[in-house]
Structure formats: structure tokens, C-alpha cells
Chain A
Amino acid sequence: MGAGVDAMVSKVSSGTLVASIRKERRDADAFVLDVSFEAPPGITILFGPSGAGKSTLLDCLAGLVRPTTGKIVIGENVLFNSMIHIDVPPQIRRMAYVFQSLALFPHLTIEQNVAYGLRDIGQQDRRARVEEILEAFRIARLRNQRPSQISGGEKQRTALARSLVTRPQLLLLDEPLTGLDAELKASIVEDLRAWNAAKRIPILYVTHSREEVDALGERVIAIDNGRVVSHGAPMDVLDAPRRKRLAQAAGFENLLSATVLDLREPDGVMRIRLGESACEIEAPLAHASAGDLVQIAIRAGDILLASQRPRGLSARNVLEGKILSLEQRGTMCIARVDCGVTFVAHVTPSAVRALELASDKQVWLVLKTHSCHLVD
């Protein structure tokens, strides 16, 4: 290492992150992180339930934790390769990492915090770069404050500025915007995007919040139990969840077990029976055969409610049932409906009034075939 590595990482280039990492925990509670993925410049979201291994993955990328085996490459810079014993220390990996706790230095001012990573450059250059990023993240007026004197959003802006001022080749964000309201979050993300428009580095953004994925997503990598379970555009990854825990995290309120009755391949559908009930519905065709047990995920917002038996519908699944309970939450009503199995459906308060919905009222549920997602 030493000179060779220095030469390698000092090359200023931004490129795609290519990583394959396997990390076994020594305390061996059978958890193994084993992922391979690519992240091109721009925001890539790492999505998954807590405990899925997202933070461990970031720690490995940053060099804080040494993977058991694997390879980490950004553009042409090899940062880790267990085969040829390359392990660039975190100090010279040129990666920025914003922790969930932000880890601002409490005894330094905002300006000193931001300037911390800049030292091998001249005074003037240094001042200019600090100035530029303080402006870009709208924290210039706070320069002489300490972290304990500023608000949560301002702290997050400071942490981002401190990381990015060093011109890293990769930015790792571990749920950095948790606890901020949506508007504030959006404005910070906008500033981040604006900054990255010119620099074009890969940004890995860890979250378990479905809302953040919708707000940010260009690409999503879904992780569960230490594995990449799917990747692609947010719609593709989250609307067709392949794992139960992921389905729950992605906001599928209805998770039902079902038995496959028969496959109708020409129509691209199959008939399934829900649980032990008499309810039979149509779902998209999947790799299954008659008699198989499967899991079905349905969003509460994808279920229609009718007060009379609907006719002339394209939707194939109409189930008769009785309202168990109605609960208003904000501007939304959560209806629990018993059709032999219990469904959760979301309706608006005005629909509740128009249909005169109430407990014990008989209703019909309408489900589109393609709203019924099969889960592994």
C-alpha cells in the first residue's frame, strides 16, 4: 500500500460504484450480509426493513468495517479487494458518510465543522470552497454557531456540507433526514440534487421509509435479511414486493395466505382461495401449481368499496362482506371488512358519508386482478 494506493485514489474521477460484499458476523447469529450491486452517479436508494443489513453495508463501503470477502470499486479506483489484499483505509477512501446521528463536532463552529476535512489545500482555496458550500446548503449565516445552537434541519445541512466539501467520490447517507417534516426534507434533497448535478457522484441513500423512496427515487435496491431482493425503478421494486417483510415495509396492509386452485395460462391468471375461507379471487399468473400455498399482498388503497353488488365491472374480483370497524385517521378512513378473511381498505370520509358506511353494514369489495401481488 502507501504510494501505490495514494496514486490510485488521488485520481479525481467520479464513476460508478461496483460492489460485491460478503460480511459474516463473528457472533454468528446466522446473519450474513451478501450483496452485489452497482450504483451509477445520482441517487440510489437502499431500501429495506430495519435489521436488513443496510448500515453494515455502508460501514463496509466506508472502510469502518472490513468485509469477510468482496470487492469495492469506484470507477477505476479499487478500494477493497480481498483477493489481492487491497484495503484502503477510510482516511483516504474519499468517501463521504453522513451518519444518522450526524456526528457533528460539538466543540467546533459550523464553519470549522465544514472546513474540517480540508487541509491539504491553500488558505484561499479552502476559504472559497467552504464559502461555496455554506451558500449552497444555505447555512452561511450560521457559520459561528455551535451544533447545539442550531435546528435539526440545519444540522443535517451542515453534515451534508461537511461531507461534500471534500469532493468525495461517493456519498453514503444513513437515514440522514429522519425526523424532519416532508417540506424541509424536500428542500434539503433539492439542494443535494442541485449540488450533485455538477459533481455527478453516486449517492447511496439508506431508508426504510416508503415516502422517502417515492420522493427521491431514481433507482432502488431492496435489501432484506442481508440479500438484495430486487432492484430497479421504485415502482417496479416496491409495487411487486417479493418478500413478506418488504411488503409490510412498503405499505401493503393486506398480507393473506392463499391456496392456488387452478392456473389459466391463456388468460395469464390463476384462481386462488384465501386462507380457510370460501373467498376465491383471481390473481396474476405466477410460477405455482394447483395446491401450492402462496402469500398475497394487497394495498388498502387499491380496494374499492361498494354499498350494492356492483355490476358491469372490468375488475374480476368482487367479494361480499360486512364492515367490522371504521376508524378515521386524518383525512382517511380505515375500514376493516370481514369476507371470511379480514381485509383492510382505505376510503375517504366523503365516501363514508355517501355510502352511509357503518359497522355491520353489508358491503362489496372490488379488487383488480393486478392489485393482487404474489409474495415469496
Chain B
Amino acid sequence: MLEQWFACELHCHTVHSDGDFTVESLLKTARERKLDGICLTDHNTQSGVPEAQKAGILPVLGGMEWTTYFGHMPVLDCRHDVDWRDALPDTIDEKLRQVHENGGICGVAHPFQIGTPICTGGHWDYKVQDWSLVEYIEIWSEGSPFLNTANRRAIKLWESILDKGYRLTPTLGRDWHRPTNNMYPAACTYLLCDGGKLTPEKMKIAIRNGRTVVSAGPLFYFETETGATVGDTIAAGDTELIIHTNTDRADTVPQANGYNPQAVRIFTNGGKMLSEIPIDGGDLRITLPLEAAHWYRAELWGEIDGKPDCQLAVTAPIYTE
């Protein structure tokens, strides 16, 4: 089955913690936003997950946002609740291992949110030793993503971890608590999954494998001639990248913004911008000399509602051997 991109929201709350959404209203609002799937990540509980999964409105990957004193860590699809209450900065790796032993995956939520007492525990203070124990990091949290200081710092943190040779999947977390807009209406994380019906298991695999694009709305990704794409590992050397952009889904979301993609920027190790290429609709091809043991990721820039110089989308990296 051919792979397919699905629009998902990976960070949602309901009345099971401090959200205003009921489980049903969250799912219906997600469907109105043309989302294909969500992760339910209430603070310190999975009590809403059975109802959400039984509702049959959208595929729901169950999880819990560990809302600790030293950081917020979404844990997805963990068979058994590992205790979040005694997590400590210096020994967090042990907790990450326990989550993995129970089949779960771990993320870093809004690492540069202002923390206690303004947003309790919201600032990431954990000293992860082995980043291979963390699957993903929210590089965009609520707010106007690219103007948000915390998000810009999150991208720098993400790049610094990639530079150490770890693979870390970028995600968007709307941190959705209520229907009011706290981000562009069509913003989402696109997940590349096996085609056909989306399932929670496919969402989990896509996050684990780095097959994501963080977006204000447009679908934007790249692939090689042989079909390798974000999350994959390819040989170094001159490589042609085919870059795709479309706003088909984004344009159908109620109150959608107007998008005008204008340029693609390619970034690599050290956060260095390798190339900036203007685009004018349709696909773009560019050949780049890829170095060994590097990461390469793309960003889409352009206008949102006529406002210039907006970051429209950020892809996960492709890696070289």
C-alpha cells in the first residue's frame, strides 16, 4: 500500500484533566478541522482514552501528558501507567526506559514554556543523558508559531540534539484545551503512514520513524528519485530532492488562513542554511551535495494572510549514512 500523509493533532486535553472539551466535543472539533487523527494526552491520566477510542469519530492514539514538576512529557500508547510523580531531573532516563519497556513512546512538550509557578512544570528541566530514549519534541506549541520565542528556542534545542547524532522527530502540539483558536486553524502535524485507513498504531509508527511535517496548514515534504523521504537514511553524495507543496487540505478547514508559499530553505548540521530556493507553485527539484553522517531538513516560507516572511512548515530530517 502506498504511503499517505495524514493531518493529526498530537496534544489534546479534555475535562479528564483541565480542558473544557468533553471527549466527544474534542473529537467533533478535530473532525471539523479536517484532522485525520489525534492523540489524547490529558494531564496525568488516561481516563478519557477508552471513550475516545470507542466513539468511532477519529482514530485516537491514547496517551498521558506527564505533568511533572520538572517538565511536561507526553507518553503515548504505554500499556501500564509508569509513575510520573517521582520523576527527577537527573534520573529521567530510568523513567524513559520504563515507558519503553511498556511499549510506550515519549515526547518533550513545549520545552521552553515559562515554568512554575506561571505554568507549573511547563519548562523542560530534565537532564536527558540518552536522547535515543525520546522519540519526539514539540517544536511548535500554541501561539503564532514562528514568532514565538519559545518555539524558536525549541527548534535550536532540537537541532542541537540532531547534531549529536540522535534522531528526534519534530511535532506540533496545539496543547488543545478548548475550541477557541490558539494557533492557525489548519495547523497540524502531518504523519506519513501506510495508506488506507489510519489507525493509532500507524500514527505511533510514523512518530517513531520520524515521518512528520510540522505545518501552519500546507502539506510540504520532499523525497528522492528513489522515494526516500523524511525519517529515512540515504547514501551521501549528490542527491536530487523533489519538494512537494500543496494547500488542498488546509484550504478546506473552516476559517483557514490564506497561504502563499514563496521559498524553500534547506537546513543541515549546526543549523546552517544550505540553500534557499524560490518557488512558484507546483513541485521543485534541487540537487544537493549531501555529506556523510548529516541531517537535512526543509522549511517552507511565505505569506500567511498577506503577512510576509512567515514560516509555513518544517519537515523532519532525512539522514545520511
Q: Does chain A bind chain B? A: no
A residues within 8 Å of B by Cβ?
Answer: none
